[in-house]
Structure 1
Amino acid sequence: MIATHNAHKVSEFQALLAIPGLEVEPLPPGLPDAPETGATFLENAQMKAQFYAEYVSDLVLSDDSGLEVPLLGGEPGIYSARYAGAHGDDVANNQKVIARLHEQGVTQADAAFVCALAVCRNGQLLASVEGRVNGRVFDDVRGQSGFGYDPLFQPEGASRRFGEMSTSEKAQYSHRALAVQLLRQRQKEWLGE
């Protein structure tokens, strides 16, 4: 179970976690929201995985991910999904990043996308990892692909933003793909193989 109801995240994990015999499903409907009171992406991912592992008998993979802009004091950071107030309002969140860049008198800045992953079963934490990709954020939206801050973020070594990339192209650079790769290296710990 992927600890989310976000269809974009579920489909991205289905593509990235192509392990034979492993079915990737979203959480069942009706579960309460997990607490996200950690100070880091890793703490939040671990909390969510342990929380939902109390409700389902399958492996639970949780992620906590977001954008960090050092010029903005690390914002939006762990508050990435609810940066502008409402959880998951991508347009408002992007507009707030752009406004914050303009407050600093810039049109672009160094940034990093971070993805922490944690796997639990029966409340026991089996593995956790963190992937980070550096790049830049810009003050204009480009592309219709992806979600979140993808239209603002261009990873190092790429000529286009995540929002302009296909899913397979984004996977060559993405923080989530890197975190999954790190998790797959520890597959024996959490999948028992």
Structure 2
Amino acid sequence: MQIVLATHNAHKVEELRRILAAQLPGIEVLAYDGPEPVEDGVTFTENALIKARAAAAHTGLPAIADDSGICVDILGGAPGIFSARWSGPAKDAGENLRLLLWQLSDVPEEHRDAHFTCVAALALPDGTERAVTGEWPGQLLFQPAGVNGFGYDPIFLPEGYAISAAELSAHVKNQVSHRAIAFEGLVPVLREVLGAP
């Protein structure tokens, strides 16, 4: 069975293929090559469903998408849905990270709580839709550490770990991250809705 993954982000494609392959070996995950929809939702769920709907409509296949970001408590949950374009429309991950570090430069450790949120959404060409949320709690570091992740991973210290998300192996991250939690929650939905093994 084929499903399309509604993202043009190569990092996400590889990460999600690894996560889903372990859970649903009978499903072939295809990369999406269609137009990118306007993400004008005001929540992670709305934006994930916008992307999944667009991919399902474009390909005629069941489509899954996610919307994710980092939510910093002292910033009232920001950057949140604006995580990818926090420093501007160029979506420069390095600039986003530097801006967030600068904004929190005077904030002491005890006030640097944050969490990653991911909503994984499924949309079928017939209009069936589902969404599942995953959260990964932790704190923000004062300096980047590690090279294994992307986005804000180098400054995120996951709860229960002494190293950044960018220092975790892909194997560990694929078990504990917000994306792993959300897509793991989507697996029974895929089985139910698609009849996947």
**2:47 matched residue in structure 1:** 44
Residue from 156, 176, 181 that aligns with 2:179 = 176
1:61 deviation in Å? 0.6
1:188 deviation in Å? 2.8
1:123 deviation in Å? 5.4
**1:122 matched residue in structure 2:** 125
- Checking the alignment, whether the CA contact within 8 Å between 1:69 and 1:109 is kept in structure 2 is yes
RMSD: 1.5
- In the aligned structure 1, how far is the partner of 2:31 from the partner of 2:145? 29
Which structure's residues are more often helix, by fraction? Answer: 2
**1:65 matched residue in structure 2:** 68
**1:24 matched residue in structure 2:** 29
Gaps of 5+ in 1: none
Give the letter aligned to residue 92 of structure 2.
D
- Checking the alignment, whether the CA contact within 8 Å between 2:69 and 2:84 is kept in structure 1 is yes
> Normalising to structure 1: TM-score of the pair?
0.92
Show structure 1 runs of 4+ deviating over 3 A. Answer: 104-108
Which moves more between the two structures, 92-101 or 106-115?
A: 106-115
- In the aligned structure 2, how far is the partner of 1:146 from the partner of 1:190? 32
Identity of aligned residues (%): 40
Gaps of 5+ in 2: none
> Normalising to structure 2: TM-score of the pair?
0.90
SS of 1:37's equivalent in the other structure is coil
- In the aligned structure 2, how far is the partner of 1:70 from the partner of 1:131? 17
- In the aligned structure 1, how far is the partner of 2:20 from the partner of 2:136? 19
SS of 1:32's equivalent in the other structure is coil
SS of 1:54's equivalent in the other structure is helix
Give the total of aligned pairs. Answer: 190
1:87 deviation in Å? 4.1
- Checking the alignment, whether the CA contact within 8 Å between 1:127 and 1:186 is kept in structure 2 is yes
- Checking the alignment, whether the CA contact within 8 Å between 2:157 and 2:165 is kept in structure 1 is yes
- In the aligned structure 2, how far is the partner of 1:87 from the partner of 1:112? 24
- Checking the alignment, whether the CA contact within 8 Å between 2:18 and 2:174 is kept in structure 1 is no
- Checking the alignment, whether the CA contact within 8 Å between 2:64 and 2:120 is kept in structure 1 is yes
- In the aligned structure 2, how far is the partner of 1:76 from the partner of 1:117? 19
Give the letter aligned to residue 106 of structure 1.
P
- Checking the alignment, whether the CA contact within 8 Å between 1:119 and 1:190 is kept in structure 2 is no
Give the letter aligned to residue 183 of structure 1.
L
- In the aligned structure 1, how far is the partner of 2:138 from the partner of 2:115? 6
2:134 paired with 1:131: yes
